[in-house]
Amino acid sequence: LIIFLHCHLGSSVKCYQCSTDEDPKGKDLCGAYQKFREEEHVPVDCLHDESVTPGTFCVKVTKQSPRSFIWDGRWRTVIRRCASVTETGVTNVCNWGVDLNGVYYEECYCTSDNCNAALPSTRPSLSLIAVPVLTLALLRTRL
């Protein structure tokens, strides 16, 4: 039994866990606007109590308001955590789109330790730029 528990606990994934909603005012600790600094965070074991959401893989969710430029009042949030369910049932991929409120989102799921540190969204994502441009182009063709 002890050997089984040791092997089972040793096989869980470790993920970074943070949210821009929990950052102190004036700080960007979770990497919404600046580079995420791995050295300032300790990854958590996804099967232990320290994980906010237990799971078997990592997720990074980036959301951004539909305004045209950040300095015009657009906001961006990032959440990094463990996860156990994906919208599509597939891991090691990124999904993106626009929700009903016009908020652009990108969800990236991965299965290796610390993999939610630097996924495609650490730089302005092509999907976060392409979605509003394509949406605007489609709207203009229908008018």
* pLDDT (0 to 100) of residue 83: 94
Q: Give the count of alpha carbons within 13 A of 137, CB side only.
A: 6
C-alpha 136: how far from its chain's center?
25
pLDDT in tens, 1-47: 444 444 444 568 999 999 999 999 989 999 999 999 999 999 999 99
Report the pLDDT value the prediction gives residue 89, as an integer from 0 to 100.
79
Q: How many CB atoms lie within 10 A of CB 83?
A: 24
**Owning domain of residue 103:** 13-142
The tokens for 124 are 């302005």
Q: Tell me, what's the pLDDT at 121?
A: 42
> In this model, does residue 50 exceed pLDDT 70?
yes
What is the count of structural domains for the chain? Answer: 1
Report pLDDT for 66: 83
User: What CATH number does the domain containing 75 carry?
Assistant: 2.10.60.10
- Specify if 118 maps to a domain: yes
